[in-house]
Amino acid sequence: MGKYFGTDGFRGEANINLTVEHAYKVGRYIGWYFNQKSSSRAKIVIGKDTRRSSYMFENALVAGLTASGADAYMLYVTTTPSVAYVVRTEQFDCGIMISASHNPYYDNGIKLINAKGHKMEAEVENEIEAYIDGEIHEIPFATKKEIGRAKDYAAGRNHYIGYLISTATRSFKGVKVGLDCSNGSSFAIAENVFKALGAETHVINNEPDGTNINTNCGSTHIEILQGYVKENHLDVGFAYDGDADRCIAVDENGQVVDGDLILYVCGQYLKKHGDLNNNTVVTTVMSNLGLYKAFDAAGIAYEKTAVGDKYVNENMVKNGHALGGEQSGHIIFSKFATTGDGILTSLKIMEAMIEQKQSLAQLAEPVEIFPQILENVRVYDKAVAQADEDVQKAVKEVEAELGDEGRILVRESGTEPLVRVMVEARSHEICREKVDKVVKVLREKGHVIK
């Protein structure tokens, strides 16, 4: 990770540690960089989520891009995967998504996507950081006819909606579906897709006001959808995050089907149809032990990467795997997308249910999830806290105590000042005890922000 760009772009609180000046300079460098590489004027496509600050950052990025001579194409409010789709299918040099994903409304972020629809290469992000900090030469302004233009490109979002509909292999007629749009990017897309496919579609949290994105809704507050599905006797529910690159499902009984269970359901389905390339699913180190035991029983191989859909995708591209994802709901189907795509994921779950004539609860039943506690500890310095000798000693002691019946994982957040302490074990009580043991040391050593 760089100084500004983490595993999921340049993230921070709007106008505190991610300012309009930062956005302007990102636009200036991106416009100049791709103009140098292009035989014609560079074309950059921009999308944003529903945060109030997204409009401000959009204007700053456009000013920077056009001042450097690039043309900016505006998708307006849309999802991160839609930007990735438009970039790779409509010959853009680069895509920019303005979003802090699942973070609170006052945070925001700038995600860069390359011409192939993948997250931008680290070397380009490093050059942008150097430009922001004044470590490389000043970029010339475009003048006269070389100044770029901002263009309406809302049609690109419609192209993406059409693409999603085209991926469905079955009608959804007769299926009662609940959608929690998190007052975010999916509010203008998901309902249209499900209705076009014939589902009886019930939608909540689809009235964004700029400050209610992810607030007590969406994939980070799945209890809202759980209650909604049960109260309305729906067949299935899907919750997205702010930029709709994640999906968490709820079965007909109101039980949560997280990314691990989705990987099992879809992995089994792809395997039955001969579409699970290399008979392998890519996971991260955060996936539950129960998932791996279920994969072993089903004869499905798996690989583990560092946390972040960026790393999952890199592994999938390198090895030609068809399915990968995270417990948090970032699921990648490489045949259809280059990023996690919440709406696409929900369509694929629907396909598995309808084709196999089973409910989501039945499809996920073989996975026995180990109890897990994940505590996010806000610290002064992530690296110093995790490297502390006493903290490492406590972690090793927990590892020895758990043996083969559980595991502990302590890692830094890629986007926030947090150390994440996760324990899986045979009981909730054991998980709580082991997490508390490590957090206690973090507090005693003065790493925790009070």
Which residues form the catalytic set?
101
Any bridge partners for residue 283, and if so which? 304
Task: Tell me whether residue 309 is annotated as binding.
Answer: no
Of 191, 197, 192, 298, the residue nearest 238 (C-alpha): 191
Q: Which helix (H) or strand (E) holds 294?
A: helix 289-298
d(CA 436, CA 421) in angstroms, rounded, equals: 9
Tally of residues, the chain: 450
Residues 108, 50: contact at Cβ < 8 Å?
Answer: no
The tally of CA atoms less than 13 A away on the side-chain side of residue 444 is 11
Task: Tell me whether residue 436 is annotated as binding.
Answer: no
Alpha-helical runs (H) found in 299-381: 309-319, 342-356, 360-364
Task: Tell me whether residue 241 is annotated as binding.
Answer: yes
Task: Tell me whether residue 243 is annotated as binding.
Answer: yes
Strand arrangement, sheet containing 107-113: 5-6, 9-13, 107-113, 94-98, 43-48, 71-77, 150-152
Beta strands in 351-447 (DSSP E): 372-378, 407-412, 418-424
**Residue positions forming the annotated binding site:** 101, 241, 243, 245
**Residue positions forming the annotated binding site for Mg(2+):** 101, 241, 243, 245
